[in-house]
Structure 1
Amino acid sequence: MFRLGLTGSIGSGKSTTAAFFREAGIPVHDADATVHALYAGPAVALVEAAFPGTTREGKVDRAALSAVLRASPHRFPELEAIVHPLVRAAELAALDTAARLGHRLVVLDIPLLFETRAEQRCDAVLVVHVSPEEQARRVLARPGMSEALFHAILARQMPPAEKRRRAHAMIDTGLGLDAARRDVHALIRALASTIG
């Protein structure tokens, strides 16, 4: 089974691109969605133990956790040490399910793919990208987003140019939804001819 990593900087159109793969019948394992589920289940007690007061009513309070991490950014590795193994276990389960169902291609949607060295478990990596101006417009339109938070997130991510340099394939999502969908389908066809 061919594992295609999907990544891109915040606001680059990764979620939309993942949706086009799903639309085409390709299974996608979404690391962000997995974290959301973990924050309402298996990770709650572990996060509360490491970051007291960051859970409410059986769920991780993302705002409270973000406040702790903003005040103490050096503690990000502590959170990652809790969350990443749980996400990896969910990913392995998703890969197992896709293989059992006979899929030849699966997409691993991982925001910090290069930053966490997840490319080592992918057969190829697709990087989605967009102009810095469009990226800023998209991200700053999100509820609760500020310039300061946007720049803090960017500081934790590999520069887009370096992601593109490491990519096996790229899609510019700034060209519109139809163009991005066409590019996804073209990539699926190209991969199908490679993996049989």
Structure 2
Amino acid sequence: MKGIVFNLLEDVVSEQFGIETWDLLLEDAKVDGVYSSLGNYPDADMLALVKAAAHRLKLPEGEVLRWFGEKAMPLLKQTYPELFEQFPTARTFILSVNTIIHPEVMKLYSGACCPYFHFTEQPDGALEMRYQSSRHLLDLAHGFILGAADIWHENISVERYPSGSPKENDMTIRWQGP
């Protein structure tokens, strides 16, 4: 996993809970915490940090990942405004992930292993999305979607399918009025 993701996690945790909490998470996870944005680090480090945060905050790991994704999105926009400014809505941004956003990420961070999303637009305006990645971080993607909606001040709901169901890697995003 790219160091930028660890840097974002550190920023989000430090901003919301203080740098001391970040240090405690590093200690609990038994990782050194020195992450260069361009470096590659074991996925196990991220999973250990998420597990440590879930334990400390008494939250499920999936909820920690959603929270992280949602809070990281404004930091990504602040760091890489050019990746956001060309999109008038969260929907157009989300739909561009495979064709514009992830190719740009791979230019910035060579060797990045990005997930792939399959989109199906529904007749009622909803967007069905299937997540495909060996990392199994659907909850993080869910958080990024919520964060994107916040950036564009859009009201959305995200419906997920139960774990173990044939559609457990799918979610349906619905845009609601103001």
TM-score under structure 1 normalisation? Answer: 0.30
Q: Which has the higher helix share?
A: 1
Whose relative contact order is higher, 1 or 2, with alpha carbons under 8 Å and at least 6 apart?
1
Larger radius of gyration: 1
